[in-house]
Every structure is written in structure tokens, then in C-alpha cells.
Structure 1
């Protein structure tokens, strides 16, 4: 079965419903997305689907599950099948941060940084140093408050600890624990080589595991029958193995299916590898792929960066001369930045930051338009007590990276003979309309701008700057 968290915070599921895993209070197969009972708009934050059960982390921080409960995987202290979302024992409002569903067990990362699991435990996947089935959330051995950052589950269970190391436990017949053995582990066990500070993201398939490392590379281990490790072999790996081609700095996100794996690369393209009998690699074939293979149509993200950004009106000392203006920029091919400047006297500008446009000089482009040139005569007049600049970003074509502008400095001399460096804040002057894009685009600049697209007006909105250096970042993702 399949489930989706909608943008309005509601949840729908479809597919096999023999165990009530759709959650619509029936066992009727659903061939189209069907509303989960009670999980309407604004109620759901995160979802997880196991083999025949489903769970949701609600926006209030509580957890509900439904579907097959043969092994106690619903967590309501019973083994009764539930056809509608049912409260997990003890995981009430405000207690849970993240959830993960394995094949027949379930886990939760609590808001205090501890971890609990429940359900099937024959292979030790609960992690409580037993193989006893657990019908309610049970503390994982050693993973107490403040120790856990992220969780994932297959037929085994794994975590990223708060120190950036990785541990796994449970079934290990294919080496999916990654400790260079095939010995079942009933408590969290260190993954070979993935020590403190090395792990950013984790994901578990049925019998294999993968990690996105902090250096942007990807490693996988465990079953490799279908090439799901991605090292261009079908050899089982009992310790993390480098995925072919996905070396440092190349990967942004990784996720594992049952017998295949996919990665979103830093250039925006998507690659998959492993089992492909049903076309899950997405390369328009059903041929098994052992190394990462480009997904058809999901190529590099393209950006179209444009806009005009204007500094605040900045008061200066009594000026005898305006001199050098300098800045740092990163300009991909096909882009350019035009810098303009103007000054004004007290009759046109004020300490309140307002400008009387009828009295203020017109903007003048800096000529030549390169950093480190003298701006005297370019829209500025010696003796004026106020100055303002404008940066205009232009793009002739879509780009695979965005332009940036920072460290903007204006040098001037005062009547006292002192020299000064002025670094005004960048603030938006106006917002450029952009073509409609069905995907909301979010980005965060290093210097404090938050940029996102307002889906109603199709405009780029730029939040208030938090640092003196401005930066122009992504405007649109196609």
C-alpha cells in the first residue's frame, strides 16, 4: 500500500487494504487515494508505512497507528487489527518527534531524544536485549534522553546518534547491521567506520542499509543480490561500502526501497540502482542496475535568478570625496550583476530612511562595472551626507547554480581627513514576477536572507537581512 501526507496536513492512502492499513474503517482495496479516517487538514506532520500497517505523527506530537496488529505493531497493548487510526500507548501529545515503520515493528524518536520501539522482536529489532514481542512502546537499550537524532527501520533498526555516529540492531543475516558480521544483534551496535561526526542521514531497505555521510558521499551495506549496494557488484557487504560515483560532495539525500536505492545529487539530478523488475529505477527499462543510474527526466535542477536589491539609506560623515566601491560576487555563465549608486543631501534623505525621490539624484551605473573602481561622478556628489546602492541581478538563461553577492564596501573620506568603509544592509527594492511554478521553492542564504515563493502571487519574497553582508540567492527552480 501507499500513503501520502498532503500539503494541507491531511493524509490519504491507497492499495492493499486486507489488514485495514488504508485506515478508512474498511478492508476494501482502494485504487485511488482515500482519506484516512480522522486525519484531516492540519492534523498530520509525518507518516510511516510498514508491511501491512501504517502510522502517523500528528501535529500535536502524538502517534496513531492502524492496520495489521498480529505482532503488536500498532502499540495499543493488543494484537487486534485496527481499521482506523488508534492511539499508541503512552505516545500522547508533545511526546514524539519522529516515527519509523519497519516490516512488522514500529519505532519513535521522542522529543526528549530517547527512542522506543514495539511489535515483532524475534530478530531483536526492538533493541531491548530480548526477542520478546512488545505490544507497547519499549525503551531501546542505551538510547536514553538526548542520545538520538534520527531513526529508520526495515527488518532491522538503525539510528543516528546526536554525536553523528550510527548504530543498528536486529536481523543481520545479510550483514545489514554493518558490524562486519552476520550475527543477530539485540541491542544497538556500532556500524563499522561510521563513528562520531560522520553521518548526516540514514535509510533502511528490507535487507540493506545506506548512509549519507557528512562529507556528502554515500555508503551502503547488507544484501546486494540485486545490486542495491551500488558498488557495481552483487557481492554482500557486511560493512559500509562506497557507492560507485557518489563520492564526497555529490549527494544531498538518499533513500532505500525494499531492494533498490535512490539518491538526490547536489546538482539536482536523481540516480537509482538495484532491482528493476517493475521499473523502479526509472530509466525506462526493467534491467537491474548495479551502479547508480540516471532517472529519466529527473535531471539537473535549473535556476533563474533575477531581481533588483537596494541598500538602506546610509548616513555618512561630512564627505569630501566618495572613492572606491568593492564587492565579492559569484557569477555563473549567463549571469551578470549591475551595480548602481546614488547620494543625496539632507533635503532629500532623512534619518528615518525615507527618500524624497523628486529631490534625489537618479541612479547611475558604476562605470566600469567592476569591483574596486572609483565611483566619484557615478551618481554621487562629494559633500552629500547620505548614500545608497543598488544591485541588479540579470540572467540570460537558466542556471545550475545561483549567483551571489556579498562583502559590499564603499570607501569615502571625511572633512576630518579620516577614511571610512561603509557596508550598508541590502534590502529588497522591488519583487520580480516569475512564471508560475507548481512547486514551492525554499532556500536559506548563509547571510540571513530567507527566500521562498508565494504560491498565490507567484512572487519571490525576501526576508529581512540578519547580517551586514547581503546575498542574492535562488529565485526559481524549474
Structure 2
């Protein structure tokens, strides 16, 4: 049994928005970091946070809430407590916080569910009512929409929701609603998982009344202008329809679903097979930036497998950003594809040269150290609009990469990272906490100890920030030099193995080894670089020699006069 200390540092779930991230710890706490605009971090302000900070929940009772779920839309956040209560904060223009009115910069208890009964009692107008209040057991968010699944397996939606335009037609519109709307189409079945993009929803629903392990059917509805519903056309749907590739008779068992802005990704495994590693990722929808991973930039109207992923990799998690997709396998391999090498970065924020451009096929992220994969025992991967967060090492380590402005990566910096970087976890302040005074007699000494601790913490934080600033400048300088020489961004893998192992290395030997392992194109680039460098140096030497000759001649010329 893990202690409270271990659980407080263990991340069990992560959710990412447009430019912010949320994590849930094993002891039921919620942390956030990134862009603070609209109050999406839940800190009470709109200030950006460069490191994870704990979200505080104010209740009328002294008992601390224990949270079991987090979700993030583009600019808003949700958290689910173990008592079934839903808390929301951030942007609220479409009512996605479950309340009418302005944005909230602090968590707000969504009391709409307290006034609702089960979906069964709403559909069955008999006198029989459900026992007790409605209890939510799962939450999800995307774009300007929020979703929840209750303990009866019913799905509820609020925010920018798809609605039927009129009573007789089938045309679709999107209307704001701060009151949860039940999806009545699944009555008699259980919704197990759900995901949503900008304006479309995909749900995994039990074939019978209850979920039995391998009987999930895939449904989709909403906007379909790019084929993101996987139904073979571009017609939008007001009501859920079955994605035929994954109906109740399919040989594939769908176990994960994710939605980007206009594309969808699913993870499946073969039903009734002796090989549990037969895992396949399917994508469909918009493909303009290679976010489908099919090797092209073509959009796809029906599910197609991402063929360039290894056949024997069992994929445990998938997520979609606006225009990129990432998956992680059980052994810690991470693949990304889509906009700007699968990082999700917009072109104006990207690096340039031959290595730049969108990735139409999966790229394996650099994550291997001397003793094997760095990302061992992975938990989950989550994609924001232009950044990605990975939880691994059984939840005790976090990595992030992609857009870094506004502290989106949680590493204390505001620059883009093209390779995985550490999220500062657990927060440094946790390590400096001291127990509060327990008795009146100890109160004075305790207060002094706390004050002294606060002072030491303040000085330590200032020193850390200074060191981080220096490190950031050194990384940028080293990265520029590496880019000039080798034509690509610097990554951890570029550090010589001998230096990684011992901290010492023979530069002449390493240089020779590097030349031996380089291919023709790399050798040619090095040759051109050093040729230009030699020419520049010779030119500089010549100019200085001419200046020296002129200085030598000037006194002689003056004397002669």
C-alpha cells in the first residue's frame, strides 16, 4: 500500500487544453499550468503559470474533496470528485461551465446535476423515480463543449452542443446550453467512453444494457464537413450513428477514442485472439497536415489503419491535438504525426531547414537512454493544441514538448521544445513544507520555524530561477551552434554516450566516431560548413593584416613629409 507521500507525487491522469494542462494525483488533488487567460487554470487569476500549481477548491464543509477525474476543453477545465460532484472553471461564453454568465477563474460547483434525476426517469414518465440524486462517474471536454457519463451509463452534454435545426428537418445547428442535455439515443445501453472535437462527438457504447468487456459499438455525430464522423460521407448528423467498421459484429474491439479539431483516432485490438499485442490505430477526418498518419495529406471519410506503426506494439493511449496525433505503447515508445513533425506547432513557430515540415507518417519520439527507454511504464499521452504531455514511470515523471509560450510545457521556460523536456514535478514547494505547530507552547517556535523556512524557500526559488535562466540561455546558444553545424535542433541523443555515462569524454575520439557513423549527406554538409568557416576566417585574417600594414605605413608617411 502506497503512503500518502507517494500518492501525492503520483500522476494518475492528465488533460490538455489549447494552451494549458491539468493533472490528477493519486491522493485526489488537481494541479494546472500554462496560459492563464480566461481563468482556465483555476488559480483565481489570469496569470500564466510556468510550473504545476495546485488548484484550490472552496467548499462549505471542512472535509477536503477527493478528485477522481479531470478534463480540459480549449479554454475551460473540469474536475470530478468522488462524491459525483462536477467542478468547472475558465471560459464560459457557451455555458460550458454549467452556469449562465461570465467566466470563472476559480472552480465553481456545477449544481445542475443536483436537480436532475436519472435519464431513465426522464424518459419513462411513470411514477417510478430513481433513488437518490444523479451521480456523475466520468467527465470529458473538448472545444467549447463539456460531457459527463452518469452511474447509469447515460451521456450528458452542455456548452456548444449539436442540436436539430427544426422539428421536421435533419439539418444540424450548434446552440449554447448551460443546462446538461441528455443524449436519449443510448437509452437501454451504457456509454463507456466519449471524446469530442470542435463540433463532433464519438462515443463507445455497450451493445447490451451493460458493458461486458469486448462488446463496445462506436457511434459518432455532430459536424462532419471533413469526414470526422467516419461514416463515409461529409453529411453532419444530429443523432448518433454507428461507425460500421466497429459495429457489434466487428472483429475489432475498440478500447480508446480521441478527437482532434476535425479528425478522430481509435485504438482497437482483435476480438477473440490469443495475441494481445495485435493493436491497431485507426484515423479518419481532416488530413491536411498529415494528422491521420497515412503518409498523405488527404482527408479520409472512413476509418483507415495507421500502417506505419509497428505491428507488435500494443498501444495503451492515444490523443489528438488540433492538427497532430500521438500514441504511446506499453513499452514506452511514443509516436507522433501531423503538423510540424507531429509537434502541432504552427509553421511560423517552427524550426526551418530540411528537417522542417509536417509529418504525414508516424515519427518515433527521441526517448531512449543508455539503459533502455526513458519512458518506461507509461500511463497516458495527452495532446493540446500545439503541445503534448506524457505521463510515465508509473506516474512519477512527466515530459512535455511542442509550443512553450506562456509556460505551456510546465518546465519553467517559455520557449518551444522539439524534443521531450521534463515537467517540473513534483512542485519544488512541496519539498519545503514543514508541519504546522501542534500546541500553544510550541506556537511561537513553530511560527519562527515556518518564517525561516519561507525565507529559505524564497532564496532557493530565486537561485533556481537564476540557474534556469542561465541554463535556458546556454541551451539556446548550444542549440544554435548545433543547428549551424548539423542543420537540425539539438536533442538528448546528440550527447556522446561516454559523456552520458561518466561526464568525461575524449573529444578527438568522439569526433572521429561521429565522422565514421555519418552518412554521405551529413559529411557533405559538414564539409560545406567548414569550407565556409575557413573562408570566413581567412578573409578576416587578411583584413586584419591589411589594417596592420596600413598602420605601419602611416607613421612612415607622416615622417617623410
Place the TM-score, normalised by the shorter chain, in its bin: 0.5 to 0.7
**Pairwise CA distance, 1:42:** 5.9
Matches within 5 A, 1:116-195: 116-121=156-161, 131-144=174-187, 146-155=189-198, 156-163=200-207, 164-195=216-247
Cα distance in 1, alignment partners of residues 43 and 395 from structure 2: 33
Q: Which residue of 1 aligns with 2:269?
A: 214
In the TM superposition, residue 96 of structure 1 has moved relative to its aligned partner by: 1.4
Residue 235 (structure 1) shift: 0.4
**What residue is the counterpart of 2:25 in the other structure?**
6
- CA shift for structure 1 position 41: 7.0
Q: Which has the higher strand share?
A: 1
* Partners of 2:229 and 2:51 in 1: CA distance: 37
Conservation of the 8 A alpha-carbon contact between 1:192 and 1:239: no
Within 5 Å, give how 1:12-91 maps onto structure 2. Answer: 12-38=31-57, 43-76=66-99, 78-91=100-113
Aligned residue runs from structure 1 range 358-377, under 5 A? none
Q: How does 1:217-232 map to 2 (within 5 A)?
A: 217-232=280-295
1:439 equivalent in structure 2: 393
Question: Shift of residue 83 of structure 1?
Answer: 1.7
Alignment of 1:95 onto 2:159: no
The separation in 2 between residues aligned to 1:441 and 1:15, in whole angstroms, is: 20
- Cα distance in 2 for partners of 1:130, 1:245 equals 37
- Quick check: 153-162 or 114-123, which moved more? 114-123
Matches within 5 A, 1:72-471: 72-76=95-99, 78-92=100-114, 95-121=135-161, 131-144=174-187, 146-155=189-198, 156-163=200-207, 164-196=216-248, 198=252, 199-215=254-270, 216-246=279-309, 249-252=312-315, 253-276=317-340, 279=343, 286-297=356-367, 439-440=393-394
TM-score, normalised via structure 2 length? 0.50
Does the 8 Å CA contact 1:8/1:42 hold for their aligned counterparts? no
Change (3 A) 1:49 1:264: same
User: Could you list the per-position Cα deviations for residues 122-160 of structure 1 after superposition, in whole angstroms to 9, with x for gaps in the alignment?
Assistant: 6779x9976432211110131235421111111111100
Would the aligned equivalents of 2:342 and 2:359 in 1 still touch at CA under 8 Å? Answer: no
d(CA) in 2 for partners of 1:210, 1:166: 12
Runs of 5+ consecutive residues of structure 1 not aligned to the other structure: 304-398, 401-437, 443-478
Offset of residue 99 of structure 1: 1.0
Partner Cα separation in structure 1 for residue 394 and residue 342 of structure 2: 30
TM-score normalized by the length of structure 1? 0.58
- CA distance in structure 2 between the partners assigned to 1:30 and 1:239 by the alignment: 40
Give the deviation of 1:10 after TM superposition. 1.1
Q: Closer, same or farther in 2 for the Cα pair 1:111/1:74, shift >3 Å?
A: same
- The one-character-per-residue Cα deviations of 1:325-371 (angstroms, maximum 9, x if unpaired) are xxxxxxxxxxxxxxxxxxxxxxxxxxxxxxxxxxxxxxxxxxxxxxx
Give SS of 2:105's match.
strand
Query: In structure 2, the residue corresponding to 1:133 is in which secondary structure?
Result: strand
SS at match of 1:142: helix
Shift in alpha-carbon separation, 1:129–1:43, aligned structure 2, 3 A? farther
**In structure 2, distance between residues paired with 1:154 and 1:260:** 13
Indicate how the Cα distance of structure 1 residues 259 and 129 shifts in structure 2: closer, same or farther if over 3 A, else same.
closer
- Number of aligned residue pairs: 307
For the residue of structure 2 that corresponds to 1:158, the secondary structure is strand
**Aligned partners of 1:123, 1:301: CA distance in 2, in Å?**
54
CA RMSD of aligned residues (A): 3.4
Q: Is the 8 A contact 1:115 1:144 kept in 2?
A: no
Maintained 8 Å contact 1:230/1:292: yes
- Residue aligned with 2:185, SS: coil
Do the aligned partners of residues 52 and 113 (structure 1) sit closer, same or farther apart at CA in structure 2, a change above 3 Å counting?
Answer: same
Q: What SS does the corresponding residue of 2:256 show, helix, strand or coil?
A: strand
Deviation at 1:90, TM superposition (A): 3.5
Alpha-carbon distance change, 50 to 441 in structure 1, aligned in 2, over 3 angstroms: closer
Give 1:71 shift. 0.5
* CA–CA separation in structure 2 for the residues paired with 1:260 and 1:123: 28
Distance 1:279 1:204, change over 3 A: closer
The 1-side partners of 2:148 and 2:371 are apart by 34
Q: Relative to 1, partners in 2 of residues 1:256 and 1:288: Cα closer, same or farther, differing over 3 Å?
A: same
| Corresponding residue of 1:462 | none
Q: 8 Å contact 2:286–2:292 — kept in the other structure?
A: yes
Deviations 1:223-256 (A, max 9, x none): 1111111110100001101102337653323222
